[in-house]
Amino acid sequence: MNTDMNTARLSRNPMTRAVLRKSSRAAEIFGVSSTKPAILVVDDEEVVCNSCDRILRDDGFRVETSTDVVRGLEMAERSDYAVILLDIRMEEMDGLEFLKRLRVKKPDVPVIIITGYPSPESKNVSMQRGASDYIPKPFTPEEISESVRRVARWEQPVDKPLPAEVMEKTDAGEAPAEAVRPVVWRLMPGPPHFQDEAWLRQCEDGQACLGAFLPRMHRAQIDVVRLPRAGDVVHRGLPLAALIIKGEGCWTIPSPLSGTVTEVHRALACHPEVLWREPFRGGWIARIRPDRLGEELAVLGTRRVALVGEDRERAGELKTRLVNLGCDVHIHGTAIEARDLTDPGVLAVDAFSCGEDGVQAVGRIKAALPELKVIVLGDGDSRLEAFYRARGVFYYAVEPFEDMEIADILFDAFRSPVPPVEEESGTGFLPEFLSRVRMTNRRGRKVSLLAEKRLLSRIRGLGHRLVAKILDRYCPLETTLTARPADLDGAEILREADECDVLLELRARDIGRVPGSVTIEPRRETGPGGSVTITVQPGTSMDLPLAFDPRTTETLADFILEMMM
473 CB-near residues (< 8 Å, 6+ apart): 442, 565
Q: Which pLDDT value is given to residue 182?
A: 39
* Residue-by-residue DSSP string for 180-200: --PPPP-BPSSPPEEETTEEE
Q: Which pLDDT value is given to residue 9?
A: 36
CA distances from 346 to 67, 246, 307, 342, 387 (A): 38, 32, 9, 11, 19
Q: Which pLDDT value is given to residue 558?
A: 92
**378 phi, psi to nearest 5 deg:** -90, 180
Q: Which pLDDT value is given to residue 12?
A: 37
pLDDT at 501 over 90: no
Mean pLDDT of the chain: 80
CB 205 within 8 A of CB 163: no
Least confident span in 270-284, 375-389, 419-433, 485-499: 419-433
Domain 38-152 has CATH 3.40.50.920: no
- Residue-wise pLDDT tens digits, 285-312: 999 999 988 899 888 989 999 999 999 8
Least confident span in 146-150, 319-323, 522-526: 522-526
Q: Is 390 exposed, middle or buried (0-12, 13-18, 19+ CB in 10 A)?
A: exposed
Gap between the Cα atoms of 512 and 229, Å rounded: 9
Q: Which pLDDT value is given to residue 422?
A: 61
Q: Which CATH class is domain 193-296?
A: mainly beta
Q: Which pLDDT value is given to residue 256?
A: 95
Gap between the Cα atoms of 58 and 109, Å rounded: 23
Q: Domain coordinates of the chain in residue numbers?
A: 3-33+158-179, 38-152, 193-296, 303-414, 433-564
- Residue-wise pLDDT tens digits, 157-193: 433 332 333 233 333 333 333 333 334 567 788 889 9
Q: How many CB atoms lie within 10 A of CB 241?
A: 26
- Residue-wise pLDDT tens digits, 99-126: 999 988 888 899 999 988 888 888 888 8
CB 546 within 8 A of CB 508: yes
Over residues 211-232, the mean pLDDT reads 80
Tell me 166's DSSP state. H
Q: How confident is the model at residue 257 (pLDDT cuts 50, 70, 90)?
A: very high
Q: Which pLDDT value is given to residue 527?
A: 54
Over residues 474-497, the mean pLDDT reads 80
pLDDT at 453 over 80: no
- Closest of 505, 422, 487, 508 to residue 458, by C-alpha: 422
Q: Which pLDDT value is given to residue 40?
A: 96
Q: How confident is the model at residue 349 (pLDDT cuts 50, 70, 90)?
A: very high
Q: Which CATH class is domain 303-414?
A: alpha beta
- Closest of 221, 217, 219, 272 to residue 246, by C-alpha: 221
**Region 433-564: CATH code:** 3.40.50
Q: Which pLDDT value is given to residue 222?
A: 76
38-152 matches 193-296 in fold? no
Q: Which pLDDT value is given to residue 407?
A: 86
CA distances from 482 to 427, 489, 535, 543 (A): 14, 15, 21, 15
Q: Which pLDDT value is given to residue 167?
A: 31
- Residue-wise pLDDT tens digits, 39-57: 999 999 888 898 898 888 8
Over residues 487-502, the mean pLDDT reads 81
